[in-house]
Homo-oligomer: A and B are copies of this chain.
């Protein structure tokens, strides 16, 4: 019945034989590294696929690899005493998951695949050696780290604000989940949206139901499980503007 390949374990991608052909090379961290060096790299970092929900790194678990995301998204989650989850970061195409635990040696959050994820897997030891040898790569990583910091600060200021009403916060988050510049919006579960904003599942549901009713949002595709929403961007921006 299913048209998707059935895979239960991450599987190596056989489609590409080296990084020279990688369409992402410009965007990736290794952009500045000479191609000759990357070839050695490539024997380590093959392109893997991770099914939805795969736990790529556990909090305080053994640190084995870092990942360059090529497609899909990865969430970094922290759990509180009651088992409630809080998403502290979402990493997308071109981001490097695990710089933090590669350097510190211990992971302070859990990394989970949202939807299907394609990523290059680089063993930490190799990653450490490799970065130590390439100054350009260090600069790249520093920039990535700064970008991440900027993103999280934006979350703090605009998304999780105390007095900001739920409607506004959800609108702002949806706008940040756009697929490129189009009107398609990446659809996370209500639970995940809540875990990002610090709101409950129910509140998210009510707010989004409101947007649907007002015609600012509609489900793309027929089924409930559609991976995207179609949005009236201008209308969302109007809601997001009022604080």
- Which A residues form the contact surface with B (CB < 8 A)? 76, 78, 80-82, 84, 86, 88-89, 99-100, 103-104, 108-109, 135, 138-139, 141-143, 145-146, 148-150, 152-153, 155-158, 160-163, 197-200, 241, 243
Would A155 and B156 count as touching, CB distance under 8 A? Answer: yes
Q: Could you give 13 example pairs across A and B, Cβ below 8 Å?
A: A78-B153, A78-B156, A80-B161, A80-B243, A103-B143, A104-B150, A108-B150, A142-B145, A148-B149, A156-B156, A161-B198, A162-B198, A162-B200
Cα A86 to Cα B157 in complex, Å, equals 6
Which of chain B's residues have a CB closer than 8 A to the CB of A109? 153
Which of chain B's residues have a CB closer than 8 A to the CB of A155? 156
Cα A89 to Cα B146 in complex, Å, equals 13
How close is A111's CB to chain B, nearest CB, in angstroms?
Answer: 12
Would B153 and A103 count as touching, CB distance under 8 A? Answer: no
8 closest A-B pairs by beta carbon, nearest first, are: A162-B198, A145-B145, A78-B157, A88-B153, A86-B157, A138-B138, A160-B160, A152-B152
